[in-house]
Amino acid sequence: MRTARKRLAIWGSLAVLLVVGLVYALRPQPVPVDLATVKTGPLRVTVDEEGETRVREVYTLHAPLRGQLQRITAEAGDHVKAGETLLGQIEPAAPAFLDVRTEAEQRAAVEAAGAAYNLAAAELNKAKADLAFAEAERGRARQLMARNTISKRTLDDAERVYNVAQANLATAEAALNVRRHELSQARSRLLSRQEIRSRSGPCECVALIAPVNGVVLRVMRRSEGVVDAGTPLLEIGDPDDMEILVNLLSEDAVKLKPGQKAFVTNWGGEDLNAIVRRIEPFGQTEVSALGIEEQRVDVVLDFADPPVRWRALGHGYRADVQIILFEGQVLKLPLGALFRQKDQWSVFTIVEGHARLRSVVVGHRNNLEVEIRDGLPPGERVILYPSDRIAEGVAVVER
C-alpha cells in the first residue's frame, strides 16, 4: 500500500512538471522588433531625375550652296574665332554624267544651234546687201534732188529706206551674236569632266568661316564630296555657357518654379549647385521602359557654381539632378515606421513592453524620412517595419 502511494506521488509530480513545462514553453513570447525614435532634424525633399548637359547656344554651320566640299580638317575641341577661322571650302561641283539619251539630245541641240547660227549669218549678209543698195539709192536721190529732178518726198523715202536698212543690219548682227552664244552654250553641255578640269583656272571657292567664337563641338561631315545646299557640316558652341536639361514627369514639373535650388550629382566630380531657370510649357508623350505612356516636361537649369568647377563637363554629358522642393528642421521619423490604417497614417509605439496603435499627421516626406506634424511627441519610440505579427497590445521586445 505504501509502495503504491509512493509510485503515485512520483508519477503525479512528473505529470505536474510536464504540464508546467508545456505551459511555459507555449506561453506567448514577445515579438522582437526594430525601434526608431521621433526626433527633430533636417529634412530635404527633392525631385530626382537624370539630366543631360548641353551648350546653351549651339550654332550649326550649313553648306550655303551645292558644290564640291573640300575635306574639313577641324577637330572637335578646336577653338574658333568669329569671322576669322577658316573651317572649310566649297568649290563648284563637276557636272553629272550624261546617259545615251541625254547626250543625243545635247548633240541635237548643238546641231540646231549651229543651223540657227548659219541662218543668222545669212540674214546678216542679206541685211548688208540691203544696206548697200539703200545707200546707193540715197546717193542717187540726193544728186537728182540737187538738180530738182525728183520731189522732196522721193528723197525722204530714200533716206527712210537707208535708215531701216541700217537698223536691220544692227538687228542681224545682234541675232548672229545671240546664235553664236547659244551654239557655245549647247557645246559646253557636252564638255567632259576632264575637259572642264583642264580648262578651269584657280578655284573660285566659297569659304566657310566660323560665325561665332567658341569650340567645335562636332564635325558632322568631314570627307570631301558633293554636298547639297543646307547640309549640316559643323556644330560650334561655347563650353563655358552650359545648362542642364531634365525631362520630368508632368506631375513633378508642376511642383517647380523658376529660382528653385538644385544639386547636380553623379557626374564624376563633387556635387554642384544649380538653379531652375525655365519650365517648358509644352509636354510630350513618351513611352517608358515598361511600355507605359508618360507625359514628360523639359526643365532647364543653370549652374550656380563658376565654370572652373564643372569645366570637365561637355555637351551631352549625363548627370543626376536633385531639385529641392522643401528643406528645413522638422520632427521626423523613418518612412518605414508608417503604414496606412483605413484612411489615416499610423504607427506602433511601445507602452510598457506592448505595441500601441497611434494615428499621426504627416507632412513633407522623401524616400527615407517623413515629417510628423501631429500625433507623436519628440523622443517617442516607434516600431520600424511592423509585420503582420504586430497588433494592438502584442508584447514586443527590441531586437
Q: Which CATH number do you get for residue 70?
A: 2.40.50.100
Q: What is the pLDDT of residue 219?
A: 93
The domain total for the chain is: 4
Least confident of 177-191, 206-220, 258-272, 357-371: 177-191
Does 263 share its domain with 387? Answer: no
Residue 25 in this model has a pLDDT that exceeds 60: no
Q: Which of 53, 48, 44 is nearest to 322 (CA)?
A: 48
Residue 258 in this model has a pLDDT that exceeds 90: yes
- Whether 18 maps to a domain, the answer reads no
Does 303 share its domain with 367? Answer: no
Percent of the chain clearing pLDDT 70 (strictly above): 93
Q: What is the pLDDT of residue 103?
A: 77
Q: CA-CA distance, 373 to 103, in Å (whole number)?
A: 90
Least confident of 57-61, 184-188, 241-245: 184-188
Q: What is the pLDDT of residue 23?
A: 60
Q: Which of 239, 259, 358, 348 is nearest to 302 (CA)?
A: 259
- Please answer whether residues 325 and 257 qualify as being in contact, where contact means their C-beta atoms are separated by less than 8 angstroms: no
Does 319 share its domain with 303? Answer: yes
Residue 31 in this model has a pLDDT that exceeds 60: yes
SS3 85: coil
- Whether 384 maps to a domain, the answer reads yes
Residue 388 in this model has a pLDDT that exceeds 90: no
Q: How confident is the model at residue 394 (pLDDT cuts 50, 70, 90)?
A: confident
> What's the start-to-end Cα distance of the chain, in Å?
56
Residue 2 in this model has a pLDDT that exceeds 80: no
Other beta carbons within 10 angstroms of residue 228's beta carbon come to: 11
Q: What is the pLDDT of residue 152?
A: 82
pTM (global) more than 0.75? no
- Whether 317 maps to a domain, the answer reads yes
Does 287 share its domain with 344? Answer: no
Tell me the residue type at 124: L
CATH number, position 339? 2.40.420.20
- Please answer whether residues 68 and 203 qualify as being in contact, where contact means their C-beta atoms are separated by less than 8 angstroms: no
Residues 6 or more apart whose CB falls under 8 angstroms from that of 398 comprise: 32, 33, 34, 35
Does 348 share its domain with 316? Answer: no
pLDDT digits (tens, 9 = 90+) for 78-101: 999 998 999 988 888 777 777 788
Does 360 share its domain with 344? Answer: yes
Residues 6 or more apart whose CB falls under 8 angstroms from that of 87 comprise: 61, 72, 74, 80, 208, 209, 210, 216, 233, 234
Does 231 share its domain with 306? Answer: no
Does 119 share its domain with 180? Answer: yes
Query: In Å, how far are 117, 338, 346, 358, 391 from 341, measured between CA atoms?
Result: 103, 9, 6, 10, 12
Does 333 share its domain with 323? Answer: no
**At 310, which helix (H) or strand (E)?**
helix 307-310
pLDDT digits (tens, 9 = 90+) for 263-280: 999 999 999 999 999 999
Q: How confident is the model at residue 202 (pLDDT cuts 50, 70, 90)?
A: low
Give the domain extent around 80. Answer: 58-93+205-237
Residue 196 in this model has a pLDDT that exceeds 70: no
- Name the residue with higher pLDDT: 312 or 145: 312
Last-in-domain residue among 327, 353, 371 = 327
Tell me the residue type at 143: Q
- Whether 112 maps to a domain, the answer reads yes
Does 159 share its domain with 186? Answer: yes
Does 254 share its domain with 378? Answer: no
CATH number, position 294? 2.40.30.170
Q: What is the pLDDT of residue 201?
A: 57
Q: How confident is the model at residue 27 (pLDDT cuts 50, 70, 90)?
A: low
- Whether 366 maps to a domain, the answer reads yes
Percent of the chain clearing pLDDT 90 (strictly above): 45
Q: What is the pLDDT of residue 198?
A: 64
- Please answer whether residues 377 and 38 qualify as being in contact, where contact means their C-beta atoms are separated by less than 8 angstroms: yes
Q: CA-CA distance, 116 to 119, in Å (whole number)?
A: 5
- Whether 70 maps to a domain, the answer reads yes
- Please answer whether residues 253 and 279 qualify as being in contact, where contact means their C-beta atoms are separated by less than 8 angstroms: yes
- Whether 373 maps to a domain, the answer reads yes
Last-in-domain residue among 121, 155, 190 = 190
Does 246 share its domain with 279? Answer: yes
- Whether 230 maps to a domain, the answer reads yes
